[in-house]
A and B are shown apart, each in its own frame.
Chain A
Amino acid sequence: MTDTTPLIRIRDLHFRRGERVIFNGVDLDIFPGGITAIMGPSGTGKTTLLQLIGGQLKPTRGTVEVDGQPVHELRRSALYALRRKMGMLFQNGALLTDMNVFENIAYPIREHTELPESMIRTLVLMKLEAVGLRGARALMPNQLSCGMARRVALARGIALDPMIMMYDEPFTGQDPISMGVLVRLIRSLNEAMGLTSIIVSHDIAETCEIADMIYLLAEGRVVAKGSLPELQQHESAWARQFLNGEPDGPVPFHYPAADLAEDLLTMTGT
Protein backbone atom coordinates (compact mmCIF):
# COMPACT_ATOMS: atom_id res chain seq x y z
CA MET A 1 0.00 0.00 0.00
CA THR A 2 1.47 3.29 -1.04
CA ASP A 3 0.36 6.78 -0.32
CA THR A 4 0.47 8.02 -3.89
CA THR A 5 -2.59 9.51 -5.54
CA PRO A 6 -5.59 7.25 -5.39
CA LEU A 7 -6.59 5.30 -8.48
CA ILE A 8 -10.24 5.60 -7.60
CA ARG A 9 -11.39 8.71 -5.81
CA ILE A 10 -14.97 9.12 -4.72
CA ARG A 11 -16.06 12.39 -3.18
CA ASP A 12 -19.37 13.34 -1.65
CA LEU A 13 -21.20 10.61 -3.51
CA HIS A 14 -24.96 10.81 -3.41
CA PHE A 15 -27.15 8.31 -5.15
CA ARG A 16 -30.78 7.38 -4.93
CA ARG A 17 -32.99 4.82 -6.54
CA GLY A 18 -36.44 6.29 -6.84
CA GLU A 19 -37.26 7.55 -3.39
CA ARG A 20 -34.73 5.39 -1.61
CA VAL A 21 -31.45 7.08 -0.78
CA ILE A 22 -28.63 4.60 -1.28
CA PHE A 23 -25.60 6.85 -0.77
CA ASN A 24 -25.61 9.98 1.24
CA GLY A 25 -22.17 11.51 1.08
CA VAL A 26 -19.61 8.73 0.60
CA ASP A 27 -15.90 9.56 0.39
CA LEU A 28 -13.67 6.74 -0.59
CA ASP A 29 -10.12 6.32 -1.91
CA ILE A 30 -8.68 3.24 -3.50
CA PHE A 31 -4.95 3.20 -3.95
CA PRO A 32 -3.12 1.45 -6.77
CA GLY A 33 -1.78 -1.98 -6.06
CA GLY A 34 -3.83 -2.71 -3.00
CA ILE A 35 -6.79 -4.89 -2.20
CA THR A 36 -9.67 -2.93 -0.80
CA ALA A 37 -12.60 -4.65 0.78
CA ILE A 38 -16.01 -3.08 0.86
CA MET A 39 -18.34 -4.59 3.39
CA GLY A 40 -21.67 -3.80 4.80
CA PRO A 41 -25.07 -5.28 5.45
CA SER A 42 -26.96 -6.79 2.57
CA GLY A 43 -28.78 -4.12 0.59
CA THR A 44 -26.58 -1.18 1.59
CA GLY A 45 -25.51 -0.64 -1.98
CA LYS A 46 -22.20 -2.40 -2.44
CA THR A 47 -23.13 -3.69 -5.86
CA THR A 48 -24.48 -0.24 -6.64
CA LEU A 49 -21.12 1.26 -5.68
CA LEU A 50 -19.32 -1.03 -8.13
CA GLN A 51 -21.77 -0.04 -10.85
CA LEU A 52 -21.09 3.61 -10.12
CA ILE A 53 -17.37 3.01 -10.41
CA GLY A 54 -17.92 1.17 -13.69
CA GLY A 55 -19.98 4.06 -15.02
CA GLN A 56 -23.15 2.01 -15.41
CA LEU A 57 -24.98 4.34 -13.06
CA LYS A 58 -24.61 8.06 -12.62
CA PRO A 59 -24.41 9.70 -9.19
CA THR A 60 -27.08 12.23 -8.29
CA ARG A 61 -24.34 14.33 -6.75
CA GLY A 62 -20.62 14.10 -6.17
CA THR A 63 -17.80 12.69 -8.23
CA VAL A 64 -16.42 9.29 -9.08
CA GLU A 65 -12.94 9.47 -10.57
CA VAL A 66 -11.10 6.48 -11.94
CA ASP A 67 -7.52 6.94 -13.03
CA GLY A 68 -8.01 10.70 -12.87
CA GLN A 69 -11.09 10.70 -15.11
CA PRO A 70 -14.58 11.55 -13.91
CA VAL A 71 -16.45 8.39 -14.91
CA HIS A 72 -19.90 9.93 -14.86
CA GLU A 73 -18.98 12.75 -17.22
CA LEU A 74 -17.11 10.73 -19.83
CA ARG A 75 -18.37 10.43 -23.35
CA ARG A 76 -19.27 6.99 -24.55
CA SER A 77 -15.98 6.26 -26.32
CA ALA A 78 -13.84 7.45 -23.41
CA LEU A 79 -15.95 5.45 -21.00
CA TYR A 80 -15.52 2.31 -23.07
CA ALA A 81 -11.78 2.93 -23.27
CA LEU A 82 -11.66 3.22 -19.51
CA ARG A 83 -13.73 0.08 -19.03
CA ARG A 84 -11.18 -1.92 -20.97
CA LYS A 85 -8.92 -1.36 -18.00
CA MET A 86 -11.53 -2.67 -15.59
CA GLY A 87 -12.61 -6.20 -14.92
CA MET A 88 -15.73 -7.00 -13.03
CA LEU A 89 -16.92 -10.22 -11.51
CA PHE A 90 -20.69 -10.08 -11.27
CA GLN A 91 -22.51 -11.42 -8.28
CA ASN A 92 -24.15 -14.15 -10.36
CA GLY A 93 -21.39 -14.62 -12.90
CA ALA A 94 -23.35 -13.19 -15.84
CA LEU A 95 -21.78 -15.53 -18.38
CA LEU A 96 -23.03 -15.29 -21.95
CA THR A 97 -25.36 -18.27 -22.08
CA ASP A 98 -25.11 -18.99 -25.79
CA MET A 99 -21.38 -19.76 -25.70
CA ASN A 100 -19.42 -22.44 -23.92
CA VAL A 101 -16.88 -21.74 -21.19
CA PHE A 102 -13.96 -21.42 -23.58
CA GLU A 103 -15.76 -18.96 -25.85
CA ASN A 104 -16.94 -16.92 -22.89
CA ILE A 105 -13.39 -16.27 -21.82
CA ALA A 106 -12.22 -15.77 -25.38
CA TYR A 107 -15.00 -13.26 -25.97
CA PRO A 108 -13.36 -10.10 -24.57
CA ILE A 109 -10.07 -11.10 -26.17
CA ARG A 110 -11.68 -11.54 -29.57
CA GLU A 111 -13.59 -8.28 -29.18
CA HIS A 112 -10.64 -6.15 -28.28
CA THR A 113 -7.60 -7.70 -29.93
CA GLU A 114 -6.62 -9.19 -33.26
CA LEU A 115 -4.66 -12.07 -31.76
CA PRO A 116 -4.33 -15.27 -33.78
CA GLU A 117 -6.43 -18.25 -32.73
CA SER A 118 -3.49 -20.18 -31.30
CA MET A 119 -2.59 -17.32 -29.01
CA ILE A 120 -6.18 -16.92 -27.87
CA ARG A 121 -6.29 -20.60 -27.07
CA THR A 122 -3.15 -20.36 -24.97
CA LEU A 123 -4.43 -17.32 -23.12
CA VAL A 124 -7.82 -18.84 -22.41
CA LEU A 125 -6.37 -22.13 -21.21
CA MET A 126 -3.99 -20.29 -18.90
CA LYS A 127 -6.81 -18.28 -17.36
CA LEU A 128 -8.90 -21.43 -16.98
CA GLU A 129 -5.99 -23.26 -15.39
CA ALA A 130 -5.68 -20.43 -12.88
CA VAL A 131 -9.25 -20.95 -11.71
CA GLY A 132 -8.97 -24.74 -11.89
CA LEU A 133 -11.49 -25.28 -14.65
CA ARG A 134 -9.37 -26.14 -17.66
CA GLY A 135 -11.24 -29.44 -17.93
CA ALA A 136 -14.60 -27.68 -18.06
CA ARG A 137 -13.87 -25.63 -21.14
CA ALA A 138 -16.40 -27.35 -23.37
CA LEU A 139 -19.31 -27.03 -20.94
CA MET A 140 -22.12 -24.58 -21.51
CA PRO A 141 -22.91 -22.10 -18.73
CA ASN A 142 -26.12 -23.92 -17.81
CA GLN A 143 -24.07 -27.04 -17.10
CA LEU A 144 -21.98 -25.28 -14.48
CA SER A 145 -22.67 -25.02 -10.80
CA CYS A 146 -23.03 -21.59 -9.30
CA GLY A 147 -19.55 -21.62 -7.84
CA MET A 148 -18.00 -22.87 -11.08
CA ALA A 149 -19.81 -20.19 -13.08
CA ARG A 150 -18.36 -17.57 -10.83
CA ARG A 151 -14.84 -18.91 -11.31
CA VAL A 152 -15.33 -18.88 -15.07
CA ALA A 153 -16.52 -15.30 -14.79
CA LEU A 154 -13.40 -14.51 -12.82
CA ALA A 155 -11.26 -15.98 -15.58
CA ARG A 156 -13.15 -13.85 -18.07
CA GLY A 157 -12.72 -10.76 -15.93
CA ILE A 158 -8.94 -11.12 -15.98
CA ALA A 159 -8.75 -12.20 -19.62
CA LEU A 160 -7.53 -8.83 -20.80
CA ASP A 161 -5.23 -8.20 -17.85
CA PRO A 162 -7.15 -5.24 -16.47
CA MET A 163 -5.75 -2.55 -14.23
CA ILE A 164 -8.63 -2.67 -11.78
CA MET A 165 -10.52 -5.79 -10.86
CA MET A 166 -13.83 -5.60 -9.02
CA TYR A 167 -15.16 -8.71 -7.35
CA ASP A 168 -18.79 -8.78 -6.30
CA GLU A 169 -19.15 -11.59 -3.75
CA PRO A 170 -16.46 -13.84 -5.18
CA PHE A 171 -16.58 -16.36 -2.35
CA THR A 172 -20.28 -17.16 -2.12
CA GLY A 173 -21.08 -20.69 -3.14
CA GLN A 174 -17.50 -21.94 -3.03
CA ASP A 175 -16.50 -25.04 -1.11
CA PRO A 176 -13.66 -24.63 1.42
CA ILE A 177 -11.03 -25.82 -1.05
CA SER A 178 -11.98 -23.60 -3.97
CA MET A 179 -12.56 -20.80 -1.49
CA GLY A 180 -8.96 -21.10 -0.30
CA VAL A 181 -7.74 -21.30 -3.87
CA LEU A 182 -9.75 -18.22 -4.80
CA VAL A 183 -8.46 -16.21 -1.87
CA ARG A 184 -4.89 -17.03 -2.81
CA LEU A 185 -5.66 -16.46 -6.48
CA ILE A 186 -7.00 -12.98 -5.86
CA ARG A 187 -3.99 -12.15 -3.75
CA SER A 188 -1.50 -13.54 -6.24
CA LEU A 189 -3.24 -11.97 -9.22
CA ASN A 190 -3.03 -8.72 -7.43
CA GLU A 191 0.70 -9.08 -7.01
CA ALA A 192 1.64 -10.80 -10.25
CA MET A 193 -0.40 -8.56 -12.52
CA GLY A 194 -0.04 -5.38 -10.52
CA LEU A 195 -3.79 -5.22 -10.21
CA THR A 196 -5.82 -3.03 -7.96
CA SER A 197 -8.61 -5.07 -6.49
CA ILE A 198 -11.90 -4.20 -4.91
CA ILE A 199 -13.70 -6.98 -3.13
CA VAL A 200 -17.28 -6.83 -2.02
CA SER A 201 -17.93 -9.67 0.33
CA HIS A 202 -19.69 -10.94 3.40
CA ASP A 203 -17.06 -13.54 4.12
CA ILE A 204 -15.27 -11.48 6.69
CA ALA A 205 -12.54 -13.93 7.61
CA GLU A 206 -11.47 -14.65 4.03
CA THR A 207 -11.74 -11.09 2.88
CA CYS A 208 -9.92 -9.58 5.81
CA GLU A 209 -7.14 -12.10 5.34
CA ILE A 210 -6.13 -10.50 2.06
CA ALA A 211 -7.48 -6.95 2.25
CA ASP A 212 -5.11 -4.07 2.88
CA MET A 213 -7.92 -1.67 3.53
CA ILE A 214 -11.48 -2.23 4.61
CA TYR A 215 -14.39 0.15 4.19
CA LEU A 216 -17.55 -0.52 6.12
CA LEU A 217 -20.67 0.93 4.53
CA ALA A 218 -24.02 1.38 6.17
CA GLU A 219 -27.01 3.61 5.72
CA GLY A 220 -25.48 5.44 2.83
CA ARG A 221 -22.21 6.33 4.49
CA VAL A 222 -18.76 5.00 5.23
CA VAL A 223 -19.04 4.01 8.86
CA ALA A 224 -15.48 2.92 9.39
CA LYS A 225 -12.32 2.36 7.42
CA GLY A 226 -8.92 0.96 8.12
CA SER A 227 -7.03 -2.29 8.29
CA LEU A 228 -8.48 -5.26 10.15
CA PRO A 229 -6.64 -4.65 13.47
CA GLU A 230 -7.61 -1.01 13.34
CA LEU A 231 -11.24 -1.86 12.81
CA GLN A 232 -11.31 -4.42 15.58
CA GLN A 233 -10.24 -1.64 17.91
CA HIS A 234 -12.56 0.86 16.26
CA GLU A 235 -14.44 3.19 18.59
CA SER A 236 -17.68 2.54 16.66
CA ALA A 237 -19.64 -0.26 18.25
CA TRP A 238 -21.15 -0.67 14.83
CA ALA A 239 -17.91 -1.72 13.20
CA ARG A 240 -17.05 -4.15 15.96
CA GLN A 241 -20.52 -5.66 15.84
CA PHE A 242 -20.38 -6.12 12.10
CA LEU A 243 -16.96 -7.73 12.06
CA ASN A 244 -17.91 -10.10 14.83
CA GLY A 245 -21.25 -10.91 13.26
CA GLU A 246 -23.44 -10.35 16.32
CA PRO A 247 -27.12 -10.02 15.53
CA ASP A 248 -27.88 -7.37 18.13
CA GLY A 249 -26.39 -3.98 18.30
CA PRO A 250 -26.47 -0.79 16.34
CA VAL A 251 -26.46 -2.54 12.94
CA PRO A 252 -30.05 -3.00 11.83
CA PHE A 253 -30.71 -6.45 10.42
CA HIS A 254 -33.93 -5.22 8.78
CA TYR A 255 -34.63 -3.23 5.69
CA PRO A 256 -36.10 0.08 6.88
CA ALA A 257 -39.73 -0.57 7.81
CA ALA A 258 -42.58 0.64 9.92
CA ASP A 259 -42.98 -0.76 13.40
CA LEU A 260 -43.75 -4.50 13.21
CA ALA A 261 -46.84 -4.41 15.43
CA GLU A 262 -48.24 -1.50 13.50
CA ASP A 263 -47.52 -3.25 10.23
CA LEU A 264 -49.26 -6.44 11.29
CA LEU A 265 -52.32 -4.53 12.44
CA THR A 266 -52.65 -2.69 9.15
CA MET A 267 -55.21 -4.53 7.10
CA THR A 268 -54.75 -3.04 3.67
CA GLY A 269 -52.04 -2.92 1.06
CA THR A 270 -48.97 -5.07 0.77
Chain B
Amino acid sequence: MFFDWLQQLGHRGLDIFERIGRAHLLFFAILAGQPGLLSRPRLVIAQLYSVGVLSLLIIVMSGLFVGMVLALQGYNTLVKFGAEESLGTVVALSLVRELGPVVAALLFAGRAGSALTAEIGLMKTTEQLSAMEMMAVDPIRRILAPRFLAGFIAMPLLASIFSAVGVFGGYFVGVGQLGVDAGSYWSQMQANVDIYDDIVNGVIKSLVFGLVVTWIAIFEGHDCTPTSEGVSRATTRTVVHSSLAVLALDFILTALMFGD
Protein backbone atom coordinates (compact mmCIF):
# COMPACT_ATOMS: atom_id res chain seq x y z
CA MET B 1 0.00 0.00 0.00
CA PHE B 2 2.54 2.48 1.18
CA PHE B 3 4.90 1.64 -1.65
CA ASP B 4 2.11 2.00 -4.18
CA TRP B 5 1.42 5.41 -2.81
CA LEU B 6 5.10 6.32 -2.87
CA GLN B 7 5.40 5.10 -6.42
CA GLN B 8 2.43 7.17 -7.51
CA LEU B 9 3.88 10.20 -5.81
CA GLY B 10 7.17 9.69 -7.63
CA HIS B 11 5.30 9.29 -10.89
CA ARG B 12 3.44 12.54 -10.37
CA GLY B 13 6.66 14.32 -9.54
CA LEU B 14 8.40 13.03 -12.63
CA ASP B 15 5.40 13.96 -14.78
CA ILE B 16 5.49 17.50 -13.47
CA PHE B 17 9.20 17.87 -14.16
CA GLU B 18 8.75 16.42 -17.61
CA ARG B 19 6.03 18.94 -18.36
CA ILE B 20 8.18 21.79 -17.12
CA GLY B 21 10.97 20.56 -19.35
CA ARG B 22 8.71 20.34 -22.37
CA ALA B 23 7.34 23.81 -21.64
CA HIS B 24 10.86 25.22 -21.70
CA LEU B 25 11.82 23.41 -24.89
CA LEU B 26 8.70 24.80 -26.51
CA PHE B 27 9.52 28.26 -25.21
CA PHE B 28 12.97 28.18 -26.80
CA ALA B 29 11.57 26.83 -30.05
CA ILE B 30 9.08 29.70 -30.08
CA LEU B 31 11.84 32.22 -29.40
CA ALA B 32 13.85 30.74 -32.25
CA GLY B 33 10.82 31.31 -34.45
CA GLN B 34 10.58 35.03 -33.66
CA PRO B 35 13.06 36.40 -36.24
CA GLY B 36 11.13 34.65 -39.01
CA LEU B 37 8.11 36.78 -38.15
CA LEU B 38 9.87 39.89 -39.44
CA SER B 39 9.14 38.80 -42.96
CA ARG B 40 5.55 37.88 -42.12
CA PRO B 41 4.14 40.76 -40.08
CA ARG B 42 0.66 39.92 -41.26
CA LEU B 43 0.59 36.76 -39.15
CA VAL B 44 1.28 38.83 -36.05
CA ILE B 45 -1.21 41.53 -36.95
CA ALA B 46 -3.97 38.97 -37.38
CA GLN B 47 -3.18 37.58 -33.94
CA LEU B 48 -2.96 41.03 -32.39
CA TYR B 49 -6.51 41.48 -33.56
CA SER B 50 -7.84 38.29 -32.04
CA VAL B 51 -5.78 38.43 -28.85
CA GLY B 52 -5.80 42.19 -28.30
CA VAL B 53 -8.62 43.96 -30.08
CA LEU B 54 -11.18 41.33 -29.19
CA SER B 55 -10.21 41.65 -25.52
CA LEU B 56 -10.70 45.42 -25.59
CA LEU B 57 -14.34 45.49 -24.61
CA ILE B 58 -13.93 43.46 -21.44
CA ILE B 59 -10.78 45.41 -20.53
CA VAL B 60 -12.45 48.79 -21.00
CA MET B 61 -15.59 47.82 -19.10
CA SER B 62 -13.64 46.34 -16.20
CA GLY B 63 -11.24 49.26 -16.09
CA LEU B 64 -14.14 51.66 -15.87
CA PHE B 65 -15.79 49.83 -12.99
CA VAL B 66 -12.56 49.24 -11.09
CA GLY B 67 -11.72 52.95 -11.37
CA MET B 68 -15.17 53.91 -10.14
CA VAL B 69 -14.94 51.56 -7.15
CA LEU B 70 -11.47 52.85 -6.31
CA ALA B 71 -12.78 56.40 -6.25
CA LEU B 72 -15.68 55.48 -3.98
CA GLN B 73 -13.53 53.51 -1.55
CA GLY B 74 -10.67 55.97 -1.63
CA TYR B 75 -12.95 58.93 -1.09
CA ASN B 76 -14.57 57.40 1.98
CA THR B 77 -11.21 56.86 3.61
CA LEU B 78 -9.57 60.08 2.50
CA VAL B 79 -12.43 62.28 3.56
CA LYS B 80 -11.91 61.20 7.17
CA PHE B 81 -8.50 62.84 7.07
CA GLY B 82 -9.68 65.75 5.00
CA ALA B 83 -7.42 64.56 2.22
CA GLU B 84 -9.99 63.99 -0.51
CA GLU B 85 -7.95 66.26 -2.79
CA SER B 86 -5.49 63.33 -3.11
CA LEU B 87 -8.13 61.09 -4.66
CA GLY B 88 -6.50 61.39 -8.10
CA THR B 89 -3.21 60.11 -6.70
CA VAL B 90 -4.80 57.18 -4.93
CA VAL B 91 -6.77 56.07 -7.97
CA ALA B 92 -3.88 56.48 -10.38
CA LEU B 93 -1.27 54.79 -8.22
CA SER B 94 -3.46 51.83 -7.36
CA LEU B 95 -4.23 51.34 -11.03
CA VAL B 96 -0.82 51.90 -12.53
CA ARG B 97 1.15 49.96 -9.96
CA GLU B 98 -1.17 47.07 -9.15
CA LEU B 99 -4.66 46.76 -10.44
CA GLY B 100 -3.98 47.68 -14.03
CA PRO B 101 -1.35 45.02 -14.71
CA VAL B 102 -2.88 42.36 -12.44
CA VAL B 103 -6.57 42.62 -13.24
CA ALA B 104 -5.87 43.10 -16.93
CA ALA B 105 -3.67 40.00 -16.88
CA LEU B 106 -6.34 37.96 -15.11
CA LEU B 107 -8.94 39.08 -17.62
CA PHE B 108 -6.49 38.42 -20.43
CA ALA B 109 -5.93 34.88 -19.15
CA GLY B 110 -9.66 34.27 -19.08
CA ARG B 111 -10.47 35.90 -22.37
CA ALA B 112 -7.47 35.45 -24.67
CA GLY B 113 -5.47 32.72 -22.93
CA SER B 114 -8.31 30.24 -22.83
CA ALA B 115 -9.13 31.00 -26.47
CA LEU B 116 -5.50 30.42 -27.48
CA THR B 117 -5.37 27.08 -25.69
CA ALA B 118 -8.65 25.92 -27.14
CA GLU B 119 -7.68 26.98 -30.65
CA ILE B 120 -4.27 25.33 -30.61
CA GLY B 121 -5.61 22.26 -28.83
CA LEU B 122 -8.32 21.82 -31.44
CA MET B 123 -5.81 22.26 -34.23
CA LYS B 124 -3.81 19.47 -32.65
CA THR B 125 -6.86 17.29 -32.13
CA THR B 126 -7.97 17.63 -35.74
CA GLU B 127 -4.41 16.91 -36.92
CA GLN B 128 -4.03 20.33 -38.50
CA LEU B 129 -0.66 20.74 -36.79
CA SER B 130 0.51 17.35 -38.09
CA ALA B 131 -0.75 18.22 -41.54
CA MET B 132 1.28 21.43 -41.49
CA GLU B 133 4.38 19.50 -40.45
CA MET B 134 3.87 17.17 -43.37
CA MET B 135 3.52 20.18 -45.67
CA ALA B 136 6.97 21.14 -44.42
CA VAL B 137 5.50 24.13 -42.60
CA ASP B 138 6.66 24.30 -39.01
CA PRO B 139 3.58 24.92 -36.86
CA ILE B 140 5.74 26.30 -34.06
CA ARG B 141 6.89 29.09 -36.35
CA ARG B 142 3.66 29.69 -38.20
CA ILE B 143 1.06 29.14 -35.53
CA LEU B 144 2.67 29.43 -32.11
CA ALA B 145 5.34 32.10 -32.62
CA PRO B 146 3.00 34.84 -33.92
CA ARG B 147 0.48 34.13 -31.16
CA PHE B 148 3.18 34.41 -28.57
CA LEU B 149 4.48 37.70 -29.88
CA ALA B 150 0.96 39.09 -30.15
CA GLY B 151 0.22 38.18 -26.54
CA PHE B 152 3.47 39.74 -25.41
CA ILE B 153 2.72 43.00 -27.24
CA ALA B 154 -0.97 43.13 -26.41
CA MET B 155 -0.72 42.65 -22.67
CA PRO B 156 1.04 45.94 -21.72
CA LEU B 157 -1.19 47.83 -24.13
CA LEU B 158 -4.31 46.33 -22.61
CA ALA B 159 -3.03 47.04 -19.10
CA SER B 160 -2.35 50.67 -20.04
CA ILE B 161 -5.79 51.05 -21.51
CA PHE B 162 -7.24 49.48 -18.37
CA SER B 163 -5.44 51.99 -16.16
CA ALA B 164 -6.30 54.95 -18.37
CA VAL B 165 -9.98 54.08 -18.48
CA GLY B 166 -9.89 53.45 -14.73
CA VAL B 167 -8.54 56.94 -14.10
CA PHE B 168 -11.49 58.35 -16.02
CA GLY B 169 -13.87 56.10 -14.11
CA GLY B 170 -12.42 57.51 -10.89
CA TYR B 171 -12.88 61.00 -12.29
CA PHE B 172 -16.57 60.47 -13.08
CA VAL B 173 -17.29 59.22 -9.59
CA GLY B 174 -14.88 61.38 -7.64
CA VAL B 175 -15.38 64.66 -9.43
CA GLY B 176 -18.82 64.10 -10.94
CA GLN B 177 -20.58 62.47 -8.00
CA LEU B 178 -18.60 63.11 -4.85
CA GLY B 179 -17.59 66.66 -5.54
CA VAL B 180 -13.80 66.43 -5.52
CA ASP B 181 -12.27 69.41 -7.26
CA ALA B 182 -11.40 68.55 -10.86
CA GLY B 183 -8.24 70.62 -10.85
CA SER B 184 -6.81 68.93 -7.79
CA TYR B 185 -7.82 65.48 -9.06
CA TRP B 186 -5.56 65.94 -12.08
CA SER B 187 -2.79 68.06 -10.59
CA GLN B 188 -2.29 65.81 -7.58
CA MET B 189 -2.10 62.88 -9.95
CA GLN B 190 0.41 64.67 -12.14
CA ALA B 191 2.56 65.65 -9.18
CA ASN B 192 2.66 62.29 -7.45
CA VAL B 193 2.79 59.66 -10.19
CA ASP B 194 6.40 59.05 -11.11
CA ILE B 195 7.22 58.00 -14.62
CA TYR B 196 9.93 55.57 -13.63
CA ASP B 197 8.83 54.31 -10.22
CA ASP B 198 5.21 53.85 -11.08
CA ILE B 199 4.56 53.73 -14.78
CA VAL B 200 7.65 51.89 -15.99
CA ASN B 201 7.40 49.39 -13.17
CA GLY B 202 3.75 48.80 -14.03
CA VAL B 203 4.66 48.22 -17.66
CA ILE B 204 7.41 45.80 -16.66
CA LYS B 205 4.87 43.88 -14.62
CA SER B 206 2.47 43.60 -17.50
CA LEU B 207 5.24 42.53 -19.89
CA VAL B 208 6.11 39.70 -17.52
CA PHE B 209 2.45 38.76 -17.08
CA GLY B 210 1.87 38.84 -20.83
CA LEU B 211 4.81 36.56 -21.42
CA VAL B 212 3.80 34.07 -18.76
CA VAL B 213 0.10 33.95 -19.57
CA THR B 214 0.71 33.55 -23.30
CA TRP B 215 3.40 30.96 -22.72
CA ILE B 216 1.15 28.90 -20.46
CA ALA B 217 -1.77 29.19 -22.86
CA ILE B 218 0.27 28.14 -25.88
CA PHE B 219 2.01 25.32 -24.05
CA GLU B 220 -1.23 23.91 -22.67
CA GLY B 221 -2.79 23.91 -26.12
CA HIS B 222 0.23 22.37 -27.79
CA ASP B 223 0.66 19.75 -25.07
CA CYS B 224 -2.96 18.76 -24.58
CA THR B 225 -4.30 15.26 -24.98
CA PRO B 226 -5.84 15.35 -28.45
CA THR B 227 -9.42 14.68 -27.45
CA SER B 228 -12.32 16.98 -26.65
CA GLU B 229 -11.89 16.23 -22.98
CA GLY B 230 -8.16 16.91 -23.23
CA VAL B 231 -8.81 20.30 -24.82
CA SER B 232 -11.36 21.26 -22.20
CA ARG B 233 -8.99 20.28 -19.39
CA ALA B 234 -6.13 22.18 -20.97
CA THR B 235 -8.31 25.27 -21.24
CA THR B 236 -9.22 25.08 -17.58
CA ARG B 237 -5.59 24.57 -16.64
CA THR B 238 -4.58 27.61 -18.65
CA VAL B 239 -6.94 29.86 -16.73
CA VAL B 240 -6.09 28.39 -13.32
CA HIS B 241 -2.33 28.18 -13.76
CA SER B 242 -1.90 31.52 -15.41
CA SER B 243 -4.06 33.29 -12.82
CA LEU B 244 -2.02 31.77 -10.03
CA ALA B 245 1.20 32.58 -11.83
CA VAL B 246 0.12 36.20 -12.27
CA LEU B 247 -0.72 36.64 -8.60
CA ALA B 248 2.46 34.93 -7.39
CA LEU B 249 4.65 36.86 -9.81
CA ASP B 250 2.93 40.06 -8.82
CA PHE B 251 4.00 39.49 -5.24
CA ILE B 252 7.59 38.78 -6.25
CA LEU B 253 7.80 41.73 -8.61
CA THR B 254 6.20 44.09 -6.12
CA ALA B 255 8.67 42.99 -3.47
CA LEU B 256 11.54 43.59 -5.86
CA MET B 257 10.30 46.96 -7.11
CA PHE B 258 8.75 48.67 -4.14
CA GLY B 259 9.81 46.68 -1.13
CA ASP B 260 13.17 48.09 -0.13
Q: How many A-B residue pairs have CB under 8 A?
A: 51
Q: Give which listed residue, B130, B136, B142, contacts A94 with CB less than 8 A.
A: B130
CA distance A56 to B134 in the complex (A): 8
B244, chain A: closest CB distance, angstroms: 31
A170, chain B: closest CB distance, angstroms: 15
Q: A56-B133, A83-B133, A88-B131 are known contacts. Are A94 and B126 too (CB-CB below 8 A)?
A: yes
CA distance A95 to B138 in the complex (A): 16
| Chain A residues whose CB sits within 8 angstroms of the CB of B127 once the complex forms | 90, 92, 94
A54 within 8 A of B: yes
In addition to A54-B133, A83-B135, A87-B134, 17 A-B residue pairs with Cβ atoms within 8 Å of each other are A51-B130, A54-B134, A80-B136, A83-B136, A86-B134, A90-B127, A90-B130, A92-B126, A92-B127, A94-B131, A95-B128, A95-B131, A97-B123, A108-B135, A108-B136, A111-B136, A112-B136
B257 within 8 A of A: no
B83 within 8 A of A: no
| Chain B residues whose CB sits within 8 angstroms of the CB of A56 once the complex forms | 130, 133-134
Of residues 71 through 112 on chain A, the ones whose CB sits less than 8 Å from some CB of chain B are 76, 80-81, 83-84, 86-88, 90, 92, 94-97, 107-108, 111-112
Say yes or no: B133 contacts A108, CB within 8 Å. no
Q: Give which listed residue, B128, B132, B134, B136, contacts A81 with CB less than 8 A.
A: B136
B252 within 8 A of A: no
Chain B 140-162 per-residue mask, 1 if CB under 8 angstroms from chain A, else 0: 00100000000000000000000
Q: Give which listed residue, A88, A95, A112, contacts B134 with CB less than 8 A.
A: A88
Say yes or no: B130 contacts A84, CB within 8 Å. no
Give A residues with C-beta under 8 Å from B: 51, 54, 56, 76, 80-81, 83-84, 86-88, 90, 92, 94-97, 107-108, 111-112, 153, 156
Say yes or no: A97 contacts B126, CB within 8 Å. yes
Say yes or no: B135 contacts A111, CB within 8 Å. yes
Q: Can you identify 24 A-B contacts, CB atoms within 8 angstroms?
A: A51-B130, A54-B134, A56-B130, A80-B136, A83-B135, A83-B136, A86-B134, A88-B131, A88-B134, A90-B130, A90-B134, A92-B127, A94-B126, A94-B127, A94-B130, A94-B131, A95-B128, A96-B131, A97-B123, A97-B126, A107-B135, A108-B135, A111-B137, A153-B131
* B interface size (C-beta, 8 A): 15
Residue of B nearest to A153 (CB): B131
CA distance A156 to B134 in the complex (A): 11
Say yes or no: A84 contacts B133, CB within 8 Å. no
CA distance A189 to B94 in the complex (A): 67
| Chain B residues whose CB sits within 8 angstroms of the CB of A86 once the complex forms | 134
| Chain B residues whose CB sits within 8 angstroms of the CB of A112 once the complex forms | 136
| Chain B residues whose CB sits within 8 angstroms of the CB of A153 once the complex forms | 131
Chain B 110-142 per-residue mask, 1 if CB under 8 angstroms from chain A, else 0: 000000000000110011101111111110001
B167, chain A: closest CB distance, angstroms: 38
Say yes or no: A83 contacts B128, CB within 8 Å. no
Say yes or no: B128 contacts A108, CB within 8 Å. no
Residue of A nearest to B138 (CB): A80
CA distance A92 to B123 in the complex (A): 13
